[in-house]
Structure 1
Amino acid sequence: KEAKKNPGEDSPPANAAAAAATSGSKFARPRPHALVSPPPPPLPPSRVLVLSDGREEGNVYLMAQYMAHHLTHVTPSLEFNCERLRFESSPAPCTLFLSNVTEDDDAVLRKQMEEFGGVERAFVVRTASNRSKGYAIVEFCVPEFSQRAKKILDDRFELKSKALYRLRRESKRFARGGR
C-alpha cells in the first residue's frame, strides 16, 4: 500500500530561501516570509532631533544637556564602586508664573514679555466665562530669558511694594484712636 503524499512535500522549493530552509531536514517547511519587520519609515525633516552641543552659540545649558546625554549613553558604561554612573542635566525653568496680572489681552502680554527675550507662549489664564483669573503663564525660548525676566520683574515689584508700604505707614502714623 502506498501512503498518500502531500502536494509540495517532495516537490522542489520555489525560491532560494525556501531551498535553504528545507535543505537540512526532510520535514522542514519553507517559510513564505521573513520574521524580521521592515525598518520604520524615516522621520519628516521637521521631526528630526538635532543635538547641538551649544559651543557655537555659547549656550552653557545646551552644552550641559549634550554632555549629560552622551556620558549616560557611552559604551562601555562608566562605573564607580561597581555602580553604573548616570549623568543628568537638570532642566532650567523656561516658564514663569505671573500673579496679580492686570492685563487681559494675550497679545499685549506677549509684547510686554518679549522685551526680556524670545517668547514661545504667553497667555492669561481665564475662567469658563472668559474672564481673567488674574494670573498668566509665560514660556520663554531659553532659560536665560526667563531668569532675566524674573529678576527684572521682581526688582520692579519690590520697588513698588516698598513705596506702597511706606505710603501706608505714613498715613497710619497720624491716625487717632487705638494703640
Structure 2
Amino acid sequence: MTQPDRSSLTIEESSIRVQTTFDEAKTKRYLRSYIFDDVTDGAHIAALIYTPRTTDAFLSGTTTQRAYNLMKKHVEGPIKQYDIISLMPDLLVSEDLPFAQASFDELNYEFIEETLRRVKETNGVVLCGWGSPGRLMHHLPAYEKLFDQYADILYCSGITSKGEPNHLRLTVDDSPMITYPDMKLKAKKLKRK
C-alpha cells in the first residue's frame, strides 16, 4: 500500500475561548460564552434555556452543537460569539429545581437584556429552548416586555403543548425556526382550548 501524498494539505487552526460567569459562591451560573477568536467581525448568537445543571455546564456538547448548527443557517457570515444563558441561573442539583429555589434574579435579567441587545446589533438570532417548567410561568411576565422588544430575533424550534418553546434538547439541525410572534399566537390558541 502506498502512502497518500500530503504535501498539498494545509492545517488551519482556530481558537475558541469559553467563558463562564458565576456568582461568588458558584450557586448561580449566569452566562456561558463561546468566543471564536479567529473571527474578527461576525454575528453574535444565543440559546436561551430554563436553568443550567451542575453536571453538564449548561448543556451537553451535542445539544449545544445542534442549536449552533441550526442558528448558523439563519445568520449571514461567520459567528463571532455564541452565548448560552438561562432564565433562572440557579444551578440544578437534580432535574427538578425545588419551587423555593427558583426565583427571579435581577442581575440575570440584566445579562439577558445585554445579550439580546448584542445579538440584535450584530444581526444574530436567539434560539429559545426553555420547555414548559411550571415555575417559569410565575416569572415569565417579567420577561414578556423584554421579549416583545426583541421579538424579531427570537425563535424556537418547536412549541410545547403549553405554548412554550420546546426544550433545546429536542432541537435538531433541520428543525424549523418558529418566530417568537408565531409562538405567542399559538400559545394563545392553546390556552383557549
Q: TM-score, normalised by structure 1?
A: 0.20
- Return the structure number with greater relative CO, CA threshold 8 A, min gap 6: 2
In proportion to residue count, which structure has more strand?
2
- Whose radius of gyration is greater, 1 or 2? 1
Q: TM-score, normalised by structure 2?
A: 0.19
